[in-house]
Structure 1
Amino acid sequence: MILDIVRTAALEGVAHGFFGREGGLFQGPAAGLNCGLGSNDDPAAVRANRRLAADAVLPGCGLASVYQIHSPEAVIVSEANEGQPRPRADALVTDRPGLLLGIVTADCAPVLLADTEAGVVGAAHAGWRGATAGVTDRTIAAMLSLGARIERIAAAVGPCIARSSYEVDHDFADRLLTADESNERFLSSGPGDRPRFDLEAYVVARLAAAGVRRIEAVGLDTYVLADRFYSFRRATHRGEPDYGRQISLIALAPA
C-alpha cells in the first residue's frame, strides 16, 4: 500500500514522517489513512491505519500517543500505550530507542524534535491554543530534563493550515497582540477585514525564541490540499459529517 510520507532534511537520520491521507482503510469523508481515534470511524480500522503508519517508519515498534486536549502539557513516556488509557496532553518526549511517538492533526501544526546525540525525541500537537500557551516550550523543557541540549535540538513543523486559509476573529488577534506586539507579523487582513493567522510561522518563531537553531517548516497547507491532507476547517465549511486526522511519528532507532 502506498502511503504519502513527508520527511525533512532537519531530521535526517532520525526515523520520522508526517503522513498524509493516501492509503489506509477508509471510504467517505475520512477516506484514506485516518489515524484519529476521535473520529467516527471504526476504532479497529483506525488502529490498523496507525499500525500501517508505524510500520512505515519503524516496522514492529510500539507506539505511544496522547489524548489531545489543545493544551501546553507535555509528558515523558517510556512505553507503548496503544489500546490503553493515554495521558491527557499535547506533546510527548522519550529517550527510549524503538518507541514511536505519535500525534494527530487536521489543520493544527505537528512538530517533531530530536537531539540525536543525547538520544531524545519529542512530538507536539500545536494548535493555536497550545502554540500560544507554550506547548513547544514545554516539549523542549521535557527534552532537556532527559539530557538534551538546546543547541543540538533540531525541529520540523509539518503540514498545517496556512495563513491564507486561516481566518480568525478579532478577539484572538487582540489577545495575540496584547501578549506581544511583535506578533503583528503573524497576522494579516483577509476579505471583510477578518484577520488571518500564520500558525506555521508562529510555531517556528516560538521554537527559535526557545533557542532551537535548526528548524524546517514543510509549507504544506492542509486546508487547500484536499487530496493529500485532512482538514477540520475544510470539512466544517463543506458541511461534512466527519473528518479524518493525519498522524506524525518520530522515534530513535533501536540499537
Structure 2
Amino acid sequence: MNWIKPDWPLPEGVHAATTLRGGGASSGAYASLNPAAHVDDDPDHVETNRKIIRDMLQLPAEPVWLQQVHGTRVIKADQAQGLEQADASFTDQPGTVCAVLTADCLPVLFCGDHGGVIAAAHAGWRGLQAGVIERTLSAMSCQKVSVWLGPAIGPEHFEVGEDVREAFVADNAKAAEAFKATGPGKWLADIYHLARLQLAELGVEQIHGGAYCTVSDAQRFYSYRRDGATTGRMASLIWRD
C-alpha cells in the first residue's frame, strides 16, 4: 500500500491519509509518487501522480494544494482562489480535500466537533514556532478537536542551532525538554514533542501519531534533510463525505 492510514479514531465519514513515495510515475531523485509541482519534477509526472493519488484514495475532488511558505496563514479550503499562499487550510464542507506537502516538516491533521470541521497544517519549525497550530485551531473554532501528527524528521536526526532552541524556549520554558545537546550551540530537536506541548497548552487532549522518521526511512519517505533540495514530497490529506 502506497499510503498510510492514520492510527486515529475518526468519526464516520471522515477520512485521512499520508502518501508514501512508491507507486508513482516520477523517476530519479523524485521516484516515484511525488505530487509536488514546485520541486522541478517533470510536470507531466506530477499530474500523473496526483491522478494516481486521487484514484488510490478515492478522493471526492482534487485536493486544495497550497503554496507553502513556512508561515501561519490559514485559508478556508472550499473558498480557495487558485493556488493560495498559506500553510494550513480548513473546511466545514463535505467533498473538499485539505492537503499539505512535506518532506521532513510536520504535517498536522485536525478533526473538530465530531467531524464537522477538518483541517491540515504544514508545520516546519518556523511555522510551528510562529503559531501555525494555534492559528489553525482558531480558524476552526471548534469546542473539541483531535489531531494526528504525520511523518516528519525524527528526534535523532533534527539537528538545529541555538537560535532555534532559544526561539521555542522564549515562548515556553517547557520547550527545553524537546532539545538534547550534541555540542557547542548544537541541539537535537524533537518536533513531535514541541507540537504536542503546544497542542496540550491549547487544550487539545486527543493527540495521535508522531512515531515516524522521514530521514531514517528512505524506502517510504522523501527527506529534504537526507537528500537535499532535489527530492519529492508526501501529501497528507483529510476530507469528509
Per the shorter chain, which TM-score range? over 0.9
TM-score by length of 1: 0.88
Residue 4 of structure 1: how far off its partner (Å): 2.8
2:154 aligned to which of 154, 162, 165: 162
CA contact (8 A) 1:54 1:100 kept: no
TM-score by length of 2: 0.92
Corresponding position of 1:45: 45
Tell me the secondary structure at the aligned position of residue 104 of structure 1.
strand
Question: What residue identity is the alignment partner of 2:124?
Answer: G
Question: What residue identity is the alignment partner of 1:227?
Answer: Q
Are positions 1:173 and 2:153 aligned together?
A: no
Tell me the secondary structure at the aligned position of residue 125 of structure 1.
strand
Question: What residue identity is the alignment partner of 1:32?
Answer: S
Residue 142 of structure 1: how far off its partner (Å): 0.8
Aligned length: 240
Question: What residue identity is the alignment partner of 2:191?
Answer: L
Corresponding position of 2:199: 207
Corresponding position of 2:239: 251
Separation in 1, partners of 2:196, 2:53: 25
Residues 55-102 of structure 1, C-alpha deviation per residue, up to 9 Å, x if partnerless? 3333442321211000011111215x6xx7311110000111011111
Unaligned runs of 5+ in 2: none
CA contact (8 A) 1:36 1:46 kept: yes
Separation in 1, partners of 2:171, 2:196: 17
Separation in 1, partners of 2:163, 2:111: 35
Are positions 1:117 and 2:114 aligned together?
A: yes
Tell me the secondary structure at the aligned position of residue 170 of structure 2.
helix
CA contact (8 A) 1:91 1:122 kept: yes
Whose strand fraction is larger, Structure 1's or Structure 2's? 2
Q: Which 10-residue stretch deviates more, 23-32 or 52-61?
A: 52-61
Residue 118 of structure 1: how far off its partner (Å): 5.6
Corresponding position of 2:128: 131
Question: What residue identity is the alignment partner of 1:119?
Answer: G
Residue 217 of structure 1: how far off its partner (Å): 2.0
CA contact (8 A) 1:62 1:98 kept: no
Unaligned runs of 5+ in 1: none
1:94 aligned to which of 91, 96, 110: 91
Corresponding position of 1:19: 19
Residues 1-28 of structure 1, C-alpha deviation per residue, up to 9 Å, x if partnerless? x413232224364211012112111111
Residue 38 of structure 1: how far off its partner (Å): 1.2
Q: Alpha carbons of 1:55 and 1:217: their partners in 2 closer, same or farther (altered >3 Å)?
A: same
Separation in 1, partners of 2:213, 2:132: 21
2:189 aligned to which of 174, 179, 197: 197
Residues 184-211 of structure 1, C-alpha deviation per residue, up to 9 Å, x if partnerless? 0010012666211111111122112111
Residue 232 of structure 1: how far off its partner (Å): 0.4
Question: What residue identity is the alignment partner of 2:25?
Answer: L
Tell me the secondary structure at the aligned position of residue 109 of structure 2.
strand
Identity of aligned residues (%): 32
Corresponding position of 1:217: 209
Question: What residue identity is the alignment partner of 1:225?
Answer: D
CA contact (8 A) 1:11 1:155 kept: no
CA contact (8 A) 2:35 2:47 kept: yes
